[in-house]
Amino acid sequence: MERILVSACLMGRKVRYDGAAKTSNDAILATWRSEGRLVPFCPEVEGGLPIPRPAAEIEGGVGGAAVLAGTARVLTTDGTDVTGAFLAGAQAALAVAQSFRVRLAVLKEGSPSCGALSIYDGTFRGRRTPGQGVTTALLELHGIKVFTESHLPDAATYLQTLTQ
Ligand code: SF4
pLDDT digits (tens, 9 = 90+) for 41-81: 999 999 999 999 999 999 999 999 999 999 999 999 999 99
Arithmetic mean of pLDDT, 12-35: 98
Test site for ligand 1: of 113, 146, 148, most ligand atoms within 8 A of the Cβ: 113
Average pLDDT, the chain: 98
Distance 108 CA to ligand 1 centre (A): 7
Task: Give residue 138's pLDDT.
Answer: 98
Rg of the chain (C-alpha set): 15
Whole-number pLDDT of residue 20:
98
What pLDDT does residue 159 have? 98
Ligand 1 site, residue 43, Cβ cutoff 6 A: yes
Q: Would you kindly state where each structural domain of the chain is located, as residue ranges? A: 4-162
Distance 157 CA to ligand 1 centre (A): 24
Residue 38 has pLDDT above 90, yes or no: yes
* CA pair distance 27, 72, nearest whole angstrom: 37
Contacts of 80 (CB under 8 A, 6+ apart): 54
* Mean pLDDT for the stretch of residues 30-36: 98
Instruction: Determine whether the shortest distance from the Cβ of 111 to ligand 1 is under 6 A.
Output: yes
- Output phi, psi for 123, to 5 deg: -100, -10
The verdict on pTM exceeding 0.95 is yes
Query: Closest ligand 1 atom to the C-alpha of 22?
Result: 1
pLDDT value at position 36?
98
Q: How far is the CA of 14 from the centre of ligand 1 (A)?
A: 9
Q: How far is the CA of 135 from the centre of ligand 1 (A)?
A: 10
CA atoms within 13 A on the CB side of 5: 29
Between helix 83-99 and helix 134-141 the angle, nearest 10°, is 40
**Largest Cα–Cα distance in the chain?**
49
Q: What is the pLDDT of residue 164?
A: 83
As to burial, measured by CB atoms within 10 angstroms (0-12 exposed, 13-18 middle, 19+ buried), residue 26 is middle
Pocket test for ligand 1, best of 5, 16, 119 (most atoms within 8 A of CB): 16
Q: What is the pLDDT of residues 103-120, one digit of tens each?
A: 999 999 999 999 999 999
